[in-house]
Amino acid sequence: MSGVEERTVAPEEAGWRLDRWVKTHFPGLPFARLQKLLRTGQFRVDGRRPEAGQRLLAGQRVRIPPLPEEAYEAPPAAAGSRPLSAEDRAFVRSLVIFEDERLIALAKPPGLAVQGGTSTTRHLDALLEGLARGGEKPRLVHRLDRDTSGVLVVACTAEAARELGFAFQQHRVRKLYWAILVGGPQRNEGLIDLPLAKGGAPGRERVQPVAADEEEGEEERGRPARTAFKALARAGKVAAWVALQPLTGRTHQLRAHCAAIGAPILGDGKYGGRAAHPKGAPKGLMLHARELELPGPKGRPLRIVAEPPAAFRAALGWLGLERPELPGATLDDWAEAD
């Protein structure tokens, strides 16, 4: 068993999630053990208790608790492991909707996890080998939930990963999501300003709104979370096609906020329960990352758009909605946040 140690985040690691950083440095640490150590705060970043999904900055100091010696060694290759097949390479290439010398934008389909886990062997991070240039595999700089579709950007170089990761951390990236909400919001536009806190048993964690006037401490009070919304079209009182702009980046923020106002995202049983599954509705989570606007070269913003997948289009057809009836469907309809 090792003792407590500290390591510094390298420049090429800037923008990485903390859990990914730990798995890279300690490849033999079992996933369940890693999650427990992170959940119980035994890792520290610059002396503060972090979240597993926290994005790291170059130069930050990570406190590492005592770990077994096998954590420092890569586990044996899984039986039957092999390089990417031609089919996998063709598949990940088919997802590309934009690329230049610093980044590649993908239209992630619903159902594809971005990173691996205990029971997840097929995921986007592994498939990125199929987009390698000169032997350098692209790097993740942000993520989407497994069942969320839409624009996902990866960096082609360590320098690009550092720049893009910093842009995401500093909220210099504008995001616009499309969602289909059961019932729909009461107003055509507004702001959901509800702090969110994590709760639930290990493996079944979820975030939930907490009262803004609680005084017990940051964890009980929750972290600030704000989501702006605009209704694009309504199918009576059955559902609404809505554009969502996250002004903060909390885990499951859009899903928890929509459920909190009594309009869960269609197909989101985790947060909406039975109400999220109306009889006859198409299957799947109807949440789509429609647009992403990034700082581009020479100060020119780069706007990337992903078309919704077949399931989302089928849900719109089921509701008799063909096109937006109100403004808000593109970032051009939204004022830039201060």
220 in Cβ contact with 197 (< 8 Å): yes
Q: Which residues contact 49 (CB under 8 A, 6 or more apart)?
A: 41
Type of residue at 1: M
Give the DSSP letter of residue 54: P
How far are the Cα atoms of 139, 171, 293 from residue 164, in angstroms, in the given order?
10, 11, 11
Instruction: Give the β-pairing of 196-199 and 61-64.
Output: unpaired
CA–CA dist 239, 234 (Å, integer): 6
Dihedral angle sign, alpha carbons of residues 170, 223, 47, 16: negative
H or E stretch covering 105:
strand 103-108
The DSSP-derived string for 240-300 is: EEEEEEESS--TTHHHHHHHHTT-PBTT-HHHHGGGGS-TTPPSS--EEEEEEEE--GGG-
* Catalytic site includes residue 125: no
CA–CA dist 144, 150 (Å, integer): 8
Of residues 19, 145, 147, 268, which has the active-site annotation? 145
Give which of 140, 52, 154 is closest to 97, Cα–Cα. 154
Active-site positions read: 145
